[in-house]
């Protein structure tokens, strides 16, 4: 897909362990995922190269399938770009796929849906090999009640009650296609797919489901909380370490 001007648009699939980062978006003086990618690209291109992601992840949040694009005037193939980036990126950020994309492709506007998952470990002692990637709640949670509550998120709702108060997004209506809780021994995984997410939406959903699991809220409270459009009615924002951006879905990709 070479263009007359020699510019190529590359689409990359990025995985990261967000533990050491202040989130996706570039912030002066802070290590961020976008910042690390742009720094590596500047070394490759010899000039600044902006990177656009499908969604901003918060400080400490992880990704198995972040999608981003960048424009580069280069004779490199996508495979060569992948290798060059990985040779310069820190080990906790990896470009796992790279391909040339059509000039019109936009990772955020073209996304049909995103899937996140949130991990909670409920045993008394969490393994050192899990602690970076799951929230540790030291007591058992009623996962059946939590799954029943999660189902209340399904459908089209105004999710103002599950959005950080400082968000400046106007339209807070989102369509949730999948919401459920899966359990493997002491690990609970909340999976949610929607056409878009508000600031801290999944973490607020997870924090509210934990209140259900503790018996502080019933599954039926969820519809009332959604209807209230009042952030104070929902549970606390669950810690970032349990959250993964799992996949971004596009048309026929």
Tell me if 126 sits within 8 A of 136, measured CB to CB: yes
Site residues for its own copies, window 101-160 (CB under 8 A)?
Answer: 125-129, 131-133
d(CA 128, CA 90): 21
Q: Which two tokens stand for residue 176?
A: 């949730």
Examine residue 202 and tell whether it contacts its own copies (CB under 8 A): no
Minimum Å distance from CB 131 to its own copies?
Answer: 5
Nearer to its own copies, 91 or 170 (CB): 91
State the residue for tokens 């459009």.
Answer: 229
Nearer to its own copies, 82 or 243 (CB): 82
Tell me if 85 sits within 8 A of 41, measured CB to CB: yes
Please report which helix (H) or strand (E) contains residue 85, including its range.
helix 78-88
Active site residue 58: yes
Contacts of 91 (CB under 8 A, 6+ apart): none
Examine residue 96 and tell whether it contacts its own copies (CB under 8 A): yes
Encoded one letter per residue, x for contact with its own copies by CB under 8 A and - for no contact, window 16-45 reads xx----------------------------
Residues that bind its own copies in the complex, under the rule CB under 8 A: 15-17, 62, 64, 82, 86, 91-96, 125-129, 131-133
Active site residues: 58
């Amino acid at each position: 897909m070479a263009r007359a001007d020699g510019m190529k648009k590359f689409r990359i699939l990025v995985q990261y362990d967000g533990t050491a980062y202040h989130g996706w978006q570039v912030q002066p003086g802070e290590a961020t995922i976008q910042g690390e990618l742009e720094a590596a690209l500047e070394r490759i291109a010899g000039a600044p190269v902006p990177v656009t992601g499908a969604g901003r992840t918060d400080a400490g949040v992880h990704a198995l399938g972040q999608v981003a694009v960048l424009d580069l005037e280069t004779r490199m193939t996508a495979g060569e770009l992948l290798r060059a980036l990985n040779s310069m990126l820190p080990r906790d950020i990896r470009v796992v796929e790279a391909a040339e994309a059509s000039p019109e492709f936009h990772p955020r506007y073209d996304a049909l849906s995103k899937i996140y998952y949130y991990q909670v470990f409920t045993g008394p002692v969490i393994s050192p090999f899990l602690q970076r990637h799951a929230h540790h709640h030291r007591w058992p949670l009623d996962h059946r009640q939590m799954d029943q509550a999660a189902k209340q998120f399904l459908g089209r709702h105004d999710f103002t009650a599950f959005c950080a108060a400082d968000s400046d997004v106007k339209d807070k209506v989102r369509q949730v296609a999948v919401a459920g809780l899966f359990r493997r021994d002491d690990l609970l995984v909340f999976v949610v797919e929607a056409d878009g997410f508000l600031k801290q939406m999944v973490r607020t959903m997870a924090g509210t489901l934990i209140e259900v699991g503790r018996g502080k809220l019933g599954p039926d409270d969820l519809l009332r909380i959604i209807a209230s459009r009042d952030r104070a009615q929902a549970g606390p924002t669950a810690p970032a370490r349990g959250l993964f951006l799992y996949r971004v879905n596009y048309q026929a990709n």
